[in-house]
């Protein structure tokens, strides 16, 4: 018998040995997969004469050769267009190494496609659905390991959660550890606006200026500066709608521009979009978890056979070793992952997904554990990412492919150099610890990149990442500090803001696209004169001295123009139970694409945000409005104190404010007075909730601070993530 690279699985349990039906059913699926793989690869096939006879497949199943699932995604997501090629290469190599390859795929929702429609209520739930489906298939077909083609949005951490969970279940049953590796889809190059469209858009901007709509002209030119991607299309859409409303362009012209921009957005072979959204944040995070082989971490094209071979050959040293079980690798690397997520400006979505992965892996973990790790040592901002200056994630991938950067290994190294305590002696799927990986110093330092550095050696700022907020009317919320440039952070930090309350995202979007929104607020005096003066005195006393005798209209206009008036746009009723916790990307994009509102408004919501969202975006608020959270008691005209650097937002007693006192109080009396209003709102939430299919509503789950996972998952999560770890095969260590 020919010796193979992979050892047999050391496990008394082998359903294929003990039950003939598996050996009768599955050999044809394996042979079919390998036949298709050879056909797909054509002249690039690297191997001898096919030897995958049904008899040989039968014998491998009988002997308990490693049964390895290739887990792909659905080809209706751009990240998975080329899965057929990657899975073909993986299947051939698994067979050559003595394993038995299988293939299945999961549905993968594209958050961009689902954005601003009912589909977004299914996005977060799809993470748990993916986890369930993957667990079902791995357990039903008794697979030992997985090669995961990592895509975008909720799929990556859904699969991480599933594999960590299967590994934990297998270990609890005394079976062999479940091993896996992730191969992220290549990075999709951002699109380019066609030259003739640039000329036409510039003509439109000049027309807007001529007609007195300088704000539309400014916002249009600002949006044109970005690489073309699905998120910038939304920004264009918002500007076009404002221009249409003011008679600057026709609906036909709007649709013409929309079409020309849309078809120029994506490259034909797909990939993960070039912005640092949830897709690429997940790429960095999963790499930080030790689950990505460096050969395939950051590519500009689908991986070659040589790269796939390097990934799959590493399994030889991982199979049967408990320290390489998925749940152990995730927990052993959790501090590394959180620090890489922070330093690279990762998505707020991952604040829930990190917690989810740990809970599915059997470890007690919450948002507060994540926050403690984040703030146990300062984590500098080492990621100079830009969508307007040639430093997107595609640029980083090009640097990695050219050999001048090593991606997350470079970031890991630079964090150490900046004094951040990284866990270097923990296992990774390269079959080496981080320390062993960093011993190879070629192209390791950030200074090796001469032009358009994305990863830095000298920090942009001494702090980074997503902060967890507390307040007197809620328990937890998050804000992406790394998504706020320092001048913008200064604009909103330690400021009093009027609340502008919306019961749902649809109402907020309509209002934020209304070019007369501020005029309406002023005309209805939704923010009373005396409170405008009181907030101005706190926010900018020099301006208060200048304007204290102004009329209401003069005061309002000056505060809006100077940015001294702050507005907290409250979008409630968007939590997991109420509406599936959709992303508030679109309303935040409408604010960011409006030069006036951008300096005035923040959003506070019990919903989520897109990974590409930037600006003063506060979300994940718990408890959610549907569950009686304080956000549901707010109403337009209330005042909150934004204290972002102190990581707090507090409700202000307006009567005390008028006396010159800043009193943080969210009184029981106020809640009693507004209880009937809250109940009316909940009834409307219940009606709106029926827009989401009952089968996919998120009842029986934890809240956003606890990962939004099924209650059964958190009940079984009893391990200590700092103590119950294997770093060396013979020792459980306390890190």
418 burial via Cβ count (<10 Å: 0-12, 13-18, 19+): middle
Host H or E run for residue 237: helix 230-245
Give the residue, 499 or 47, on which the prediction is more confident: 499
Return the pLDDT at 66.
98
pLDDT tens sequence across 236-259: 888 999 999 999 999 999 999 999
Question: Which of 291, 314, 332 lies at the terminal end of a domain, its last residue?
Answer: 332
pLDDT classification of 611: cutoffs 50, 70, 90: low
- Residues 172 and 217 reside in one and the same domain: no
Return the pLDDT at 390.
87
457 within domain boundaries = no
Best-predicted range by mean pLDDT among 100-109, 217-226, 507-516, 585-594?
100-109
Query: What CATH number has the domain bearing residue 629?
Result: 3.50.30.80
- Residues 654 and 574 reside in one and the same domain: yes
Q: How many folded domains does the chain comprise? A: 3
What pairs with residue 639 in β-bridges? 498
Cα–chain-centroid distance for residue 134? 20
Supply the DSSP string of 611-624, one letter for each residue.
TT--SSEEEEEES-
Question: Which of 284, 312, 332 lies at the terminal end of a domain, its last residue?
Answer: 332
Q: How far apart are CA 175 and CA 156, in angstroms?
A: 25
Between helices 517-524 and 552-562, what is the axis angle to 10°?
A: 150
**Mean pLDDT lowest for which of 53-57, 107-111, 638-642, 672-676?**
107-111
103 within domain boundaries = yes
Question: Is pLDDT above 50 for 91?
Answer: yes
95 within domain boundaries = yes
Question: Is pLDDT above 50 for 508?
Answer: yes
Supply the DSSP string of 665-702, one letter for each residue.
---HHHHHHTHHHHHHHHHHHHHHHTTS-GGG--TTB-
Between helices 214-224 and 195-210, what is the axis angle to 10°?
A: 160
Return the pLDDT at 612.
67
- Residues 585 and 528 reside in one and the same domain: yes
- Please name the residues in contact with 711: beta carbons below 8 A apart, sequence gap of 6 or more: 700, 701, 702
- Residues 113 and 228 reside in one and the same domain: no
Return the pLDDT at 364.
98
Q: How far apart are CA 586 and CA 509, in angstroms?
A: 7
Tokens of 585: 């990307």
- Residues 476 and 596 reside in one and the same domain: yes
- Residues 33 and 108 reside in one and the same domain: yes
311 within domain boundaries = yes
Query: What CATH number has the domain bearing residue 317?
Result: 3.40.50
Question: Is pLDDT above 90 for 730?
Answer: no
Sign (positive or negative) of CA dihedral 414, 419, 425, 426: negative
Q: What percent of the chain has pLDDT over 90?
A: 88
Backbone angles phi, psi at 381, to 5 degrees: -85, 105
Q: What is the mean pLDDT of the chain?
A: 95
Cβ–Cβ under 8 Å, residues 313 and 319: no
Q: How far apart are CA 491 and CA 486, in angstroms?
A: 9
714 within domain boundaries = no
Q: How far apart are CA 67 and CA 646, in angstroms?
A: 51
Instruction: Count CB neighbours of 671 within 10 A.
Output: 14
- Residues 501 and 591 reside in one and the same domain: yes
- Residues 121 and 244 reside in one and the same domain: no
Cβ–Cβ under 8 Å, residues 169 and 290: no
pTM exceeds 0.85, yes or no: yes
User: What angle (nearest 5°) sits at the alpha carbon of residue 86, between those of residues 85 and 89?
Assistant: 90
- Residues 547 and 514 reside in one and the same domain: yes
Q: 480 is in which domain, residue-wise?
A: 466-689
Between helices 408-417 and 334-343, what is the axis angle to 10°?
A: 90
Return the pLDDT at 595.
85
Give the residue among 455, 462, 362 at the shortest CA–CA distance from 414: 455
532 within domain boundaries = yes
Q: Encode 453-475: b = buried (16+ Cβ within 10 Å), e = exposed.
A: bbbbbebbeebbbbbbbebbbbb
Q: How far apart are CA 624 and CA 479, in angstroms?
A: 16
Cα–chain-centroid distance for residue 334? 16
- Residues 505 and 590 reside in one and the same domain: yes
617 within domain boundaries = yes
Tokens of 436: 């062993």
327 within domain boundaries = yes
Sign (positive or negative) of CA dihedral 31, 37, 39, 45: negative
- Residues 524 and 550 reside in one and the same domain: yes
Decide: helix, strand or coil at residue 203: helix
Question: Which of 674, 689, 704 lies at the terminal end of a domain, its last residue?
Answer: 689
Question: Is pLDDT above 60 for 734?
Answer: no
Sign (positive or negative) of CA dihedral 334, 336, 337, 338: positive
- Residues 204 and 224 reside in one and the same domain: yes
Q: What are the residue ranges of helices labelled H in 141-212?
A: 155-172, 195-210
Return the pLDDT at 3.
66
Return the pLDDT at 733.
44
Return the pLDDT at 731.
46
What pairs with residue 601 in β-bridges? 567
Between the alpha carbon of residue 155 and those of residues 128, 393, 559, the distances in Å are 9, 19, 44
Instruction: Count CB neighbours of 272 within 10 A.
Output: 28
Question: Is pLDDT above 90 for 227?
Answer: no
Give the residue among 169, 184, 98 at the shortest CA–CA distance from 139: 169
Q: To which residue do tokens 């106020």 refer?
A: 670
Instruction: Count CB neighbours of 416 within 10 A.
Output: 15
């Amino acid at each position: 018998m020919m010796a193979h690279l992979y050892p047999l699985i050391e496990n008394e349990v082998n359903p294929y040995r003990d039950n003939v039906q598996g050996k009768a059913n599955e050999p044809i699926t394996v042979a079919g997969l390998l036949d298709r793989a050879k056909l797909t690869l054509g002249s690039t096939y690297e191997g001898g004469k096919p030897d995958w006879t049904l008899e040989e497949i039968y014998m491998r199943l009988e002997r308990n050769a490693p049964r390895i699932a290739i887990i792909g995604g659905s080809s209706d997501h751009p990240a998975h267009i080329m899965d057929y090629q990657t899975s073909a290469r993986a299947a051939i190599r698994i067979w050559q190494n003595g394993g038995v390859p299988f293939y299945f795929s999961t549905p993968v929702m594209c958050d961009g496609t689902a954005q601003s429609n009912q589909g977004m209520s299914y996005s977060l739930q799809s993470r748990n659905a993916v986890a369930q489906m993957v667990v079902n298939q791995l357990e039903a077909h008794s697979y030992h390991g997985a090669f995961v083609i990592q895509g975008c949005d909720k799929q990556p951490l859904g699969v991480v959660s599933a594999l960590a969970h299967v590994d934990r279940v297998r270990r609890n049953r005394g079976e062999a550890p479940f091993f896996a590796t992730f191969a992220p889809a290549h990075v999709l190059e951002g699109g380019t606006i066609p030259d003739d469209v640039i000329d036409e858009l510039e003509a439109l901007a000049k027309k807007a200026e001529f007609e007195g709509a300088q704000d539309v002209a400014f916002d249009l030119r600002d949006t044109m500066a970005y690489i073309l991607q699905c998120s910038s299309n939304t920004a264009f859409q918002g500007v076009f709608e404002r221009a249409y409303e003011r008679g600057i362009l026709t609906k036909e012209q709007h649709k013409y521009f929309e079409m020309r921009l849309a078809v120029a957005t994506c490259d034909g072979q797909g990939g993960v979009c070039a912005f640092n959204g949830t897709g690429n944040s997940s790429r960095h995070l999963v790499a930080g978890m030790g689950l990505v082989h460096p050969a395939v971490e950051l590519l500009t094209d689908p991986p070659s056979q040589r790269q796939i071979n390097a990934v799959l050959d590493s399994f030889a040293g991982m199979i049967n070793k408990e320290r390489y079980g998925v749940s152990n690798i995730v927990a052993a690397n959790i501090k590394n992952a959180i620090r890489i997520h922070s330093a690279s400006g990762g998505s707020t979505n991952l604040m829930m997904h990190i917690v989810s992965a740990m809970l599915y892996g059997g470890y007690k973990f919450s948002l507060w554990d994540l926050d403690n790790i984040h703030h146990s040592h300062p984590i500098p901002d080492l990621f100079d990412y830009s969508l307007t200056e040639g430093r997107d994630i595609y640029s980083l991938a090009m640097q990695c492919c050219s050999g001048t950067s090593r991606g997350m290994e470079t970031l890991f190294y630079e964090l150490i150099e900046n004094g951040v305590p990284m866990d270097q002696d923990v296992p990774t799927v390269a079959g080496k610890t981080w320390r062993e990986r960093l011993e190879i110093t070629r192209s390791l330092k950030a200074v090796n990149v001469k032009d358009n550095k994305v990863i830095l050696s000298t920090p942009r700022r001494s702090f980074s990442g997503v902060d967890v907020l507390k307040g007197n009317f809620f328990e937890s919320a998050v804000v992406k500090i790394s998504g706020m440039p320092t001048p913008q952070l200064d604009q909103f930090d330690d400021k009093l803001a009027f609340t502008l309350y919306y019961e749902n995202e649809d109402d907020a979007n309509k209002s934020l696209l209304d070019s007369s929104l501020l005029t309406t607020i002023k005309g209805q005096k939704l923010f009373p004169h005396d409170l405008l003066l009181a907030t101005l005195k706190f926010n900018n006393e020099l301006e208060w001295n200048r304007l204290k005798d102004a009329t209401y209209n003069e005061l309002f206009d000056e505060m809006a123009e100077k940015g001294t008036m702050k507005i907290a746009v409250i979008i409630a009723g968007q939590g997991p139970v109420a509406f599936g916790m959709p992303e508030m990307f679109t309303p935040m994009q409408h604010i960011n694409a409006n030069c006036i509102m951008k300096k005035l408004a923040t959003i506070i919501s019990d919903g989520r945000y897109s990974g590409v969202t930037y600006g003063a975006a506060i979300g994940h608020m718990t408890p959610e409005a549907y569950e009686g959270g304080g956000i549901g008691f707010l109403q337009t005209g209330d005042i909150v104190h934004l204290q972002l650097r102190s990581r707090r937002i507090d409700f202000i007693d307006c009567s005390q404010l008028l006396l010159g006192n800043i009193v943080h109080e969210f009184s029981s009396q106020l809640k009693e007075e507004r209880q009937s209003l809250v109940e009316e709102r909940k009834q409307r939430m219940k009606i709106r909730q029926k827009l989401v299919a009952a089968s996919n509503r998120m009842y029986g789950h934890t809240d956003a601070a606890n990962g939004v996972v099924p209650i059964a998952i958190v009940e079984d999560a009893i391990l200590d993530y700092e103590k119950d770890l294997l770093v060396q095969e013979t020792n459980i260590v306390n890190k």
